[in-house]
Structure 1
Amino acid sequence: MAHRLGLTGDVMLGRLVDEYQQRRPAPAVWGDLEDHLRGLDGLVVNLECCLSARGRQWRRTERAFHFRAEPEWAVPALEAAGVDACALANNHVLDYEEEALLDTLGHLDEGGIAHAGAGENREAAFEPAVVAVGDLDVAVCSLTDNTPEYAAGAESPGTAYVDIDIEDAKTQTAVEDTLARAMAHDPDLLVASLHWGPNMVETPPQSHRDFARWLVDQGVDVVHGHSAHVFQGIEVYQGRPILYDTGDFVDDYAVDPRLRNDRSFLFELAVGEAGTPLELRLLPTEIDDFAVHRASAEAADWSRERVQDLSDPFGTTFEREDESLVVGLEP
């Protein structure tokens, strides 16, 4: 029997999402997808905010946006959706400085939600998360090339920061170390969750393609990309899915009328008993009323056509099953 692991793009619970959530039940942020999310065997998200009522806005360098959510509703919301692990290596986890980052780690720990990609020091930031997905063990490594000033130091909190360059010796050492730590747990499946590249870019640069393939060659089973706020194409390399960017899952961002950053997918990976990826299913989603929902018919058609166009250069083709798209992962 295959296990279903869900992967999402950015989950940003601050600002207007946080404001609206003060007057509606915690699970409302998942719209009509709550039951579907909870029915998965596992769920990994990029948490694009800190969870804290404390801290002050980062002003050490210029920052246009600061994202923070009230943990009293945000943690129960993550629990309600069955979130197993949060990727924290991103450009917003330190928006309210170290105090709020440490609060985020503590609140996730109290909620029994694993996390990777940020920590009280560099050693902790690069530590992978390991979660049970059915009877499989899944390891998650979380890395970012965004916001170098948020990088963890030897004795200071921050993110697992690397340059996305497979020729860079420091990057190779850091990535190989965190992958080795993950593999020491003998996981059935290894996920590399990467917050990489600039916003509103529709196609990955060659450096991302090279890096993603190198990760698979190092033993990674799934490359889970995010950061662009729009989904990008999907590549299948050596039978392993590379999701170059999974877009936005829930937030309060202004919507670009052409790029439609309010539209994306819930990415569901079917994993066999031996931990082998079998197929990837894309369920169209859209953001409305500061919550995520199943996409309308028009939005779903747009997203399905768009992801196929973006994936064509990688030789990836999809089959339509009901409202979803499916790609097989045979090596």
Structure 2
Amino acid sequence: MLSVGVTGQILIHGPLDLSGRGQAEVRDFLKTDVAFGNLEATVEAMGAWPTKTKTLHLASPAALSSLRSLGFHAVTHANNHAFDLGPPGILATRSAANAAGLRLAGSGANIDEAAAPVVVGDPDRSLAVFSVDLGPQPDINYASADRAGIAPLRVRRSVTMPLADFAVLARIVTALGDDAREAARASVGYRSGLCEGVEVFGTPVTAGDEIKAVWAADEGDMQRLIAGMAIAKSNGCCIAVAIHGHHWDAAWSQTPPWLLDLFRGLIDEGADLILGTGAPVMQPIHFHRGRAIIPGLGNFVFHTRRAESYRQRDVDVWRSAAIRLELSANGECQRLEILPIAVGRPADGGLARAPEPLEGAEAQEIANIACREISPADYHRIKPLKA
């Protein structure tokens, strides 16, 4: 068996206070063969400058050291804050992670480094952890052969609509000159080509039977990930894929059906565990072919500057869960245990508060959220919450 611990996203700025009894319980829970989470921050880098006009999340090297002290073996880094300081931040984060004893997946000096998994464990029971980002992000954030960045699995939406509606939209695009303008750009190579139908604010629209959105992953990004998983599988590893994205449902606590289909497709291609991040709230766990799909655990550490905005809108960003799984040699989840937690909060001064277990009714409520969509056929995999 391979024991794996996973958490919600780690949006961290400074080191955590790990001195409490609750923090010791979390640390004990994460004592697994492999524990990893999504590091949604970039380490401060000398001489770098922000790539955004707002919402930077900068972490100190000491913050990463405290994650290692809490029990993490690896962090994933393909997300929308990894590029907050551009290529210098990418390199500084990898350097700080290495110094802290953490393996880092999902970002790097080029696409080969960013797309490569980290392999944690011993030869008899190891986990290859891949990290990719769905977007939407500027293309500059994604690594290439000669540019630092994060590993992409870009998904894009196309739309169909009834012919009468499509004809009206096509007339608008033509009247505004958008179609001619984009055709001129394509003719000289400023864009790769024109879509079928019309393009409206970057979204391809075609005639169909109904108004419908179709999501599809970039073929090159997908083939790169599938090829990497095949190599890791041939080396005897179980496969985990950490996927970050901001194509959320209007109800953040629900996983969009197309995204669940994407997750299931990756399991069909060889993944044994999917960990999603992005939305800052809990989403229900699913299983496919005995493999766990954890679409979103909300936050593990959340050093947000918008706490008041979340409070006013009653968004539950301060409760979450850590998950511990037992995977068989073929990657099937034999056992899944839930530890409901109070999320680590920012500090007014001194060390930041680290996550600690929830108790009683609150703990049961979080466990119920996590399990509410698990099928009866898979419920035997869930370890009952301690009373």
**If the length of structure 2 is used for normalisation, what is the TM-score?**
0.72
Q: Provide closer, same or farther for how the CA distance between residues 134 and 76 of structure 1 changes in structure 2, counting only shifts above 3 A.
A: farther
Residue 66 of structure 1 is matched in structure 2 by 56
Tell me the distance in 2 between the aligned counterparts of 1:312 and 1:36.
26
Residue 170 of structure 1 is matched in structure 2 by 220
What is the DSSP-based 3-state SS (H/G/I as helix, E as strand, rest coil) of the residue aligned with 1:321? coil
Q: 1:266 aligns with which of 322, 338, 357?
A: 322
Residue 327 of structure 1 is matched in structure 2 by none
Residue 168 of structure 2 is matched in structure 1 by none
In structure 1, give the amino acid aligned to 2:130: C
Q: 1:222 aligns with which of 273, 277, 283?
A: 273
Q: Deviations over 1:4-63 (max 9, x none)?
A: 21011111111xxx2xx4xx75777x834453145222201101111235354423xx54
Residue 293 of structure 1 is matched in structure 2 by 356
Tell me the distance in 2 between the aligned counterparts of 1:32 and 1:226.
25
Trace 1:71-150 onto structure 2 (pairs within 5 A): 71=61, 73-132=62-121, 135-146=124-135, 147-148=137-138, 149-150=140-141
In structure 1, give the amino acid aligned to 2:66: A
Tell me the distance in 1 between the aligned counterparts of 2:319 and 2:122.
27
Trace 1:1-331 onto structure 2 (pairs within 5 A): 2-14=1-13, 18=14, 21=15, 31-37=23-29, 39-59=31-51, 62-71=52-61, 73-132=62-121, 135-146=124-135, 147-148=137-138, 149-164=140-155, 165-166=215-216, 168-187=218-237, 189-198=238-247, 201-253=252-304, 254=307, 255-256=310-311, 258-272=314-328, 275-289=331-345, 290-309=353-372, 311=373, 317=379, 321-323=384-386
Tell me the distance in 2 between the aligned counterparts of 1:260 and 1:81.
24
Deviates most, 170-179 or 115-124: 170-179
Q: Is the 8 A contact 2:18 2:70 kept in 1?
A: no
Q: Provide closer, same or farther for how the CA distance between residues 44 and 3 of structure 1 changes in structure 2, counting only shifts above 3 A.
A: same
Query: Could you tell me how far 1:235 is from its partner in structure 2?
Result: 1.1
In structure 1, give the amino acid aligned to 2:54: A
Tell me the distance in 1 between the aligned counterparts of 2:376 and 2:277.
18
Q: Deviations over 1:232-282 (max 9, x none)?
A: 111111011111112111112324464411111111111235654211111
Q: Provide closer, same or farther for how the CA distance between residues 56 and 207 of structure 1 changes in structure 2, counting only shifts above 3 A.
A: same
Tell me the distance in 1 between the aligned counterparts of 2:232 and 2:141.
23
What is the DSSP-based 3-state SS (H/G/I as helix, E as strand, rest coil) of the residue aligned with 2:7? strand
Q: Deviations over 1:285-320 (max 9, x none)?
A: 1125442110132421321232333x2589764756
- Structure 1 gaps of 5+ residues are 325-331
Tell me the distance in 2 between the aligned counterparts of 1:307 and 1:204.
12
- Structure 2 gaps of 5+ residues are 156-214, 346-352
Tell me the distance in 1 between the aligned counterparts of 2:255 and 2:338.
19
**If the length of structure 1 is used for normalisation, what is the TM-score?**
0.83
Larger Rg: 2
Tell me the distance in 2 between the aligned counterparts of 1:80 and 1:141.
23
Q: Is the 8 A contact 1:42 1:133 kept in 2?
A: no
Tell me the distance in 2 between the aligned counterparts of 1:9 and 1:197.
15
Q: Is the 8 A contact 1:234 1:314 kept in 2?
A: no
Q: Provide closer, same or farther for how the CA distance between residues 27 and 224 of structure 1 changes in structure 2, counting only shifts above 3 A.
A: farther
Q: Is the 8 A contact 1:53 1:70 kept in 2?
A: no
Q: Is the 8 A contact 1:286 1:295 kept in 2?
A: yes
Tell me the distance in 2 between the aligned counterparts of 1:215 and 1:34.
30
Q: Deviations over 1:63-97 (max 9, x none)?
A: 431111110x2232122122111111011111122
Tell me the distance in 2 between the aligned counterparts of 1:44 and 1:229.
17
Query: Could you tell me how far 1:132 is from its partner in structure 2?
Result: 0.6
Number of equivalent positions: 311
Q: Percent identity?
A: 23
Query: Could you tell me how far 1:208 is from its partner in structure 2?
Result: 0.8
Query: Could you tell me how far 1:115 is from its partner in structure 2?
Result: 1.4
Tell me the distance in 2 between the aligned counterparts of 1:66 and 1:55.
16
In structure 1, give the amino acid aligned to 2:146: E
